[in-house]
Chain A
Amino acid sequence: MNFTVSFNARDFSAPIPIGLKPEVTALTWCAQGGPEGATLRLSGPLESLLDLTCLLRCPVTVCDEYFEPVWWGFVSKIILFFEEVSFSVDIDQLTNHVTVAYTALTQPGTAAETLTTVPVEDKPSQAIYGVKQILLQREEMDENFALFLAETFLGERAWPKSALSQSKAAAQPTAILTCAGWFETLGWSNFTFPYGTLANTDGQGSFQFDDSVLRRKPGQVFLAEQELALLSVDFLLSRTNAETRTLTAFLYATDATGKPSNLLATSGTVPATAVPEGAYAWVRFTFDPPVSLSEGDSYFIGVDANLTHSAHYFHIKIDEEAHFPGGKAYYQSSTTPTWSLIPASTYPCQPDLYFKLRCVCDSADLLGAAVGFGDQFFSRVVVEPTGIPICPYRLKPVNCLAEVKRLMALGTANARPLLADVSADRGLHFYEQPDASEPAVYVDSQFRMVTGDGVPMPPWTPPVGKYARLMTARLTDPFDGKRVPTTFIERVTYTPQTGRVRINP
């Protein structure tokens, strides 16, 4: 196969003619990200090869003889061999956005606070290569130490580094270009998602309710900062008698004045026996199915028993120091109904409740959010819903690619992992791994691959992310009883010079 290789400007605006013809020596594709790696070999005058170092992070496309792109990504490393010198430049170590997460210096016996510096960045480097973030984790330092550490680290890593070593004498100057797939660039960013849980668990105070129709449904107003679904709420409750009662949580919309207005949903009931008498305990109320919350809207979440009685009532823990910033605590003070602020008895603040909200989203939404953090080069992202609701809360920064892979491994409600592919125009698509019992590819004893439709597949368009079945005279599909398990093609490496195809090497 006579491959042609084209390089583009880093902003994808125009091709870069390099005046040399690269020889494709290996191509690798992976079910988790599509084109994964390529190596190209170029020979020519040393000056021309040295110019290739300018191609770092430039987009590269390998086309077959029908000018169909078969591999695409970017140049990640360039190694030059000439005479007895090996000289390399790579982008792996480059970092142009540094943040230090550190624990502050503390007195003995005092809990160390975990802090994060503001990021220090090298904008010119980012403009050329894209943003490559790193989060350094360090123990026991002060703010200045952390900031200067970030500055020094950035100073050392903001631009590509070269390496020199002696090598075996080269017959002629040669360059080896190592290329990586675009999926890898998700690992250049960190990801946080501080949404999905809301809680207030601090402060003093309590509120007695359901001892009268004038003291019912204590609850908390909160702001939904993201479009998520409310799965459960926990309140810190105690009871006085009332063991025959049942408790329910209520979700209300709020009106323009911030008070509860329309009832939106009711949780499952909890028997009052789940609430301790004479002590407080967290009691969970679950909404099944989860209730969608709209981004930017305020809601009221409250709790109530099925009956009121002057000798059978409940206590809910409140925070008279008002630690929760997003809303206030209300209760229903008449059957009209009228809603009033829960009063404070000891502090001059408007109290909040003790509560813990847990929201969920389809894991595909979190995957989309994680990709959104790391997306610098993709033209579009498509994530198919997985049907798995999870809490998206990620306070501590994690590597985007690591999080994406974690969510891909979580898979779908069909108990299959997610796969990802990047198209030639850099569209990123996540999809469910196919059914193992329905192979899409058949491999014969000469290692020729054909589709289920009987169409031959050239090795440079390999069926990664699909199941293959070995097909010989004795192993045919589906008529014999000698079924062997199908092989999942997770990774394929093709070596054009030898024609060798390695599956899952």
Chain B
Amino acid sequence: MNQIAIGDSSGMTVIHGELISPPYRRTTCFFNFEDQHEISERIEVEIAGTPTQIQEVLERFNQIRLRAQLYESGTYYSPQYLRFQQAHGDPTYRTPISNLRLAVNREGYLTTRKGSVILTLHYTRPPWFDKGLYSVPLSSRTSSDVVTGVTLVNHCDAGASDFNSVYTKHSGIETSLPAPLKLEIEFLTGASTLNDLLIGMYHNPGDDRGEGHFYCNASDFSGGTVIYNAGAINNFYRSLSWSANTWTSLATAAITDAMMEKLDYKAYRPILHLFNSHAYSDLYLKCALLDGSDLIYESDPVHADPAYGYVLFPPLHLPPHRTLRDLDPKGLTLAVYGFKDNTSTYVITFDQLILLPLDYAMQFKGFFNMTQGDVFVYDQASGLCNVRTGSGTKEIQYQLPLGGSLMLFPGRTSRFILLWTNSANQVVINDSVKVIAYYRKRTNIL
């Protein structure tokens, strides 16, 4: 090991190798590679110097221990890290340490006077080392490997710049373990707001597989009437009208064999984007999958709240069953069913059904509204998010992170789809954001 250091961004103390300074002599690591969430380990730091120098080292390590404690209680800004460099000039790896405990060798109280002591630092750490923050080159319909930000709008259709997803090429991500993302999302639209934010990720080996399989436009459906409107996603919306007071199939769309193959047995959250909000307080909808006319799966029903311009269905696996996977999966029909307990005629309109991928996915539930120029930042490594307000000099929390995690998978292309709502729970399709992404390369063995 060329160098080992300990501390945080306010100052790292070299305790081994290159640039070490007295009284530090060397450090021995006793790594533990158990398959656990948090690993217990220790390092032994050999110190040789005057009693005063040794005392200063002890004080420095106690400072590190206290800072680690304060960080865990939320009153210090950064975790304490152990940092490793394997060879001169190589990048460094670091791992956050917690639950620190200090000890010295048994005869330390005697050897200190003679100018030496072995300091043992017991700690716990996660089972990885990360390599710092790197830009993620993002590609889209209109750009390739951009690190300065890609502009997305709040929908996806045939329009040249109408897309709400970006992807990373599998060859552009260098990490041994799934790597946590850091996202910066700047809200660009004036006279509008960003409240809730949904991010879904889709991983696949090899090249990007496009985005078409995540969207079913109104014109792809059967049932009801399709109507042209320049304000709709893809210029068309579908009007569904029915009066039965039983579960009624309202619209169906074919998920072709090719689409199903791309959907790849993963989980998706169907999101129905309503063209116009409805006003029914007793409307329930559900998704179903049919093979021909045979119903093979149906989701739990959801209440279509009239206060929302979209409907979030429960996650759906596509295809819904685990199979031998000897062959490609068969296409199915996706149906939307509606229910109400009266025989009045109800009309709902929608222009797209989005299949938000859930390989990794999160919802950021807003409790304040972002406005133009605000930048939402989420750092998966800490699990925390903030909003840099318009001036960019102060931060505040506007959203609560819900769901899993946002990670880049080694050797895989990752596409992430964004969708957001405004303060009135509407998905305003032409609002836009700029996305910049970073990741922390991770490895488990140095």
A residues with a Cβ closer than 8 A to B are: 2, 4, 6, 14-15, 17, 19, 21, 44-45, 47-48, 63-68, 380, 382, 423, 425, 427, 451, 453-456
Contacts and interface: CB of A to CB of B under 8 A. Distances in A.
Interface stretch (B18-26, B256-264, B356-364, B431-439): B356-364
Top 8 nearest A-B pairs (CB, nearest first) are A65-B404, A67-B403, A45-B73, A67-B363, A14-B367, A15-B400, A67-B402, A66-B358
B287 interface: no
B401 interface: yes
Which of A19, A451, A453, A455 is packed against the most chain B CB atoms within 10 Å? Answer: A455
Given A453-B320, A454-B321, A6 B361 contact: no
Contacts of A15: 365, 367, 400
A378 B31 CA distance: 53
Given A17-B397, A48-B74, 19 more contacts: A6-B365, A6-B402, A15-B367, A17-B400, A44-B74, A45-B74, A64-B403, A65-B403, A66-B267, A66-B315, A67-B198, A67-B361, A67-B404, A380-B282, A382-B282, A423-B303, A453-B320, A453-B321, A455-B320
Nearest to B200: A66
B368 to A, nearest CB: 8
B72 A44 contact: yes
B129 to A, nearest CB: 21
Contacts of A64: 403-404
Contacts of A2: 404-405
B269 to A, nearest CB: 6
A206 to B, nearest CB: 50
Interface string B208-224: 00000000000000000
A194 B225 CA distance: 51
Contact of B281 (A6, A380, A423): A380
A68 B401 contact: no
B296 A4 contact: no
A67 B400 CA distance: 11
B383 interface: yes
B106 interface: no
A382 B267 CA distance: 30
A45 B71 CA distance: 10
Interface of B: 72-75, 198, 267, 269, 281-282, 296-298, 303, 305, 314-315, 317, 320-322, 341, 358, 360-363, 365, 367, 383, 397, 400-405
B341 A382 contact: yes
Contacts of A65: 358, 360-361, 403-405
Contacts of A380: 281-282, 303
B343 to A, nearest CB: 15
A453 B383 contact: no
Contacts of A67: 198, 361-363, 402-404
A45 B69 CA distance: 9
A318 B397 CA distance: 75
Contact of B74 (A19, A382, A427, A451): A19
12 contacts: A4-B402, A6-B365, A45-B72, A63-B363, A63-B402, A63-B403, A65-B403, A67-B402, A68-B269, A455-B297, A455-B317, A455-B321
Contacts of B360: 65
A387 to B, nearest CB: 16
A75 to B, nearest CB: 16
Contacts of A425: 303, 305
Contacts of B297: 451, 453, 455
Contacts of A455: 297, 317, 320-321
Nearest to B313: A68
A455 B404 CA distance: 22
A68 B282 CA distance: 22
Given A44-B74, A48-B74, A4 B320 contact: no
A19 B397 CA distance: 11
A48 B315 contact: no
Contacts of A44: 72-74
A187 B281 CA distance: 26
Contacts of B320: 453-455
Which of A66, A427, A451 is packed against the most chain B CB atoms within 10 Å? Answer: A66
